[in-house]
Chain A
Amino acid sequence: MLYLSDISVTFNEDTPDEKKALQDINLTLEQGEFVTVIGSNGAGKSTLMNVVSGSLKPDIGTVKINNKDVTPLPEFKRSNYIGRVFQDPMAGTAPSMTIEENLAMAYARNKKRRFRIGVTKKRRELFREYLNTLHLGLEDRLNAKVGMLSGGERQALSLLMATFTEPNILLLDEHTAALDPSRAELITKLTGDVVEKFHLTTLMVTHNMQQALDLGNRLIMMDKGQIILDVSGEEKQDLTIEKLLQEFQRIRGEQLVNDRAVLG
């Protein structure tokens, strides 16, 4: 499980550009909880993900994973516990390396890397099995360079790479935003499947409200660096886009002015 307490992040403190990206965030995710995160541009969603992954250190506050305080750990050490998919399909894979080599690197994520061959026969079989579950035919292209794949294929591969080692925490930051609608739908479906299959504790940022409602068993809304809404269980199942927008207006006393969010 994931435990965040009193997390604050301020960028450019004491300058005219000062920005309180996160203010006193407290959030606990139980094992297997799948939380979708929505909020307008600049609300602090990506910053929250970066604080969890360790690519950003909070000014104050504690991050615990499985009751272990990981706040001082650098990103590469923390990624033993964390699988991550980025928004940019180019970001999650190494383009000049082959599909099987990319999978081999992901396979080594929670193990110690050694001077032994990365892609063995046995592992290749394993990779093929996993790729099969994507239904994209990638299992027949193990030796293709990843740079040759389409954005959707790359993102599906990134998702597989982030999840098949069953991380304690899965972080998804708008990982379908750069894809066309049909590809986005495919990745959304794969996400639901894989999270369920491995029972992963997941934090997923999205601008697509429908996606946020369809996926997961808990939803949080962020604004100006704070969590302003947190619904789960039946209450979440009963939510609609209408209700979400009304809720935002009630809490903030203003319209949620964000085309992407409203249209999504």
Chain B
Amino acid sequence: MFFSMFGAVESGIIFAIMALGVYLSFRVLDFPDLTVDGSFVTGAAVAAMCIVNGVSPIIATVLAAVAGFVAGNITGILNTKGKINPLLSGILMMTALYSINLRIMGGSPNIPLLNEPTVFNFLETAWEKTGIDQFLNGLLTSIGVEVVPGTWIVIFVMIIITVIVKLITDYYLKTEIGLALRATGDNEKMIRSLSANTDTLKIVGLGFSNGLVALSGALIAQNDGFVDLKSGIGMIVIGLASVIIGEALFGKKTIVRTTLAVILGAIVYRMVVTAALKVDFLETGDMKLISAILVVAALVTPKVIATVREQKRRQRKRIDLNNKAKGA
């Protein structure tokens, strides 16, 4: 159990970057952007092709994010200049990206990365010298955990990258441009009357969002050791699940808090899915179904709880009133 949960946290943190991207489009811009299913794979494919062709993994990862940025820009242009509705713009871009991704991958739907350098094994020699693995695994063994993780480097690297991405996002959303971006999702007419070019804001905002999604895709590919053309299917639902679960569990009072909630939401989501797959009756193929059910649950439960609470409150008031009437 520990071992599989360790894996869940590991990939949860990587998916958290994708979830932050979805947060930017879905919540900040109020733009349900389905480009994500395509741009995730675009990131993975660009990174993989670069690495296979001898580019340094760090540069490959950066290029992947840039590719995602451009994909988001195009969705934004379709929506603002082409006046195509947001959902349809995303679906069109996602569909187009499927073919483009296959082109990037040189026509093969799967690219292995097994013996290639990655951002994770790049630092491995330095990492081994620190002895953190032995130390942490020693701790685990001493508390009775039998199967210990091979290495902690992925978690450490990912925490650093995710924290940096979170801090940049927090800062960005508080700048003058960031405020205008948030207002574009909140009250577009108003921010236009305050001389902001909402078209440009949307195009750049969607670029930033999909840049993060592609970055996440590039890192997942390097962690998994392969890219699959179909790995992006349902990615938007996973992103939404993370955002909604995170907000429900950890609150959304301020931007700083919400971005943290989204990251934690992505990790919780992975852990729930991992736990669900332990149930004998469920199979790996059921994952998308579980995701969809989780999103529905996270959306509906808070409302049901609020309604029930409100009903109880009213009932209590009525009973109080009755008692008072009897007493008088």
Name A's B-contacting residues (CB within 8 A). Answer: 53, 55, 75-80, 82, 84, 86, 90-97, 101, 104-106, 108-110, 113-119, 161
Contacts and interface: CB of A to CB of B under 8 A. Distances in A.
Contacts, number: 85
A65 to B, nearest CB: 13
B196 interface: yes
B195 A96 contact: no
A84 B189 CA distance: 11
Given A105-B180, A115-B177, A96 B190 contact: no
A134 B113 CA distance: 64
Contact of A94 (B175, B178, B182, B197): B182
Interface string B170-208: 011011111110110011011111111110000000000
A75 B192 contact: yes
Contact of A96 (B177, B186, B197): B186
A105 B196 CA distance: 9
A257 to B, nearest CB: 32
Given A91-B187, A94-B183, A115 B193 contact: no
B197 A76 contact: yes
Contacts of A104: 176, 179
B189 to A, nearest CB: 6
A86 B187 CA distance: 13
B174 A97 contact: no
A110 B196 CA distance: 10
Nearest to A80: B195
Most buried by A among B171, B176, B178: B176
Given A91-B189, A92-B190, A97-B183, A118 B176 contact: yes
A94 B193 CA distance: 12
A93 B187 contact: yes
A117 B178 CA distance: 9
Contacts of A96: 182, 186
Interface in B142-192: 171-172, 174-180, 182-183, 186-187, 189-192
A75 B193 contact: yes
A34 B65 CA distance: 53
12 contacts: A79-B194, A79-B195, A82-B193, A90-B187, A91-B190, A93-B190, A97-B186, A105-B183, A114-B175, A115-B176, A117-B174, A117-B176
A55 to B, nearest CB: 8
Given A76-B198, A115-B177, A117-B175, A97 B192 contact: no
Nearest to A115: B175
Nearest to B191: A105
A230 B183 CA distance: 39
B177 to A, nearest CB: 5
A55 B198 CA distance: 13
A53 B176 contact: no
A118 B179 contact: yes
A168 to B, nearest CB: 13
B193 A53 contact: yes
Contacts of A108: 176, 179-180, 194-195
Contacts of A97: 179, 182-183, 186
A119 B255 CA distance: 14
B156 to A, nearest CB: 29
A210 B196 CA distance: 36
Contact of B178 (A75, A84, A106, A118): A118
A56 to B, nearest CB: 13
Closest 10 CB pairs of A and B: A79-B195, A94-B186, A113-B176, A118-B179, A94-B183, A94-B187, A109-B194, A118-B176, A115-B175, A84-B193
Nearest to A145: B253
Nearest to A90: B187
A82 B192 CA distance: 11
A76 B192 contact: yes
Contacts of A82: 193
A46 B178 CA distance: 31
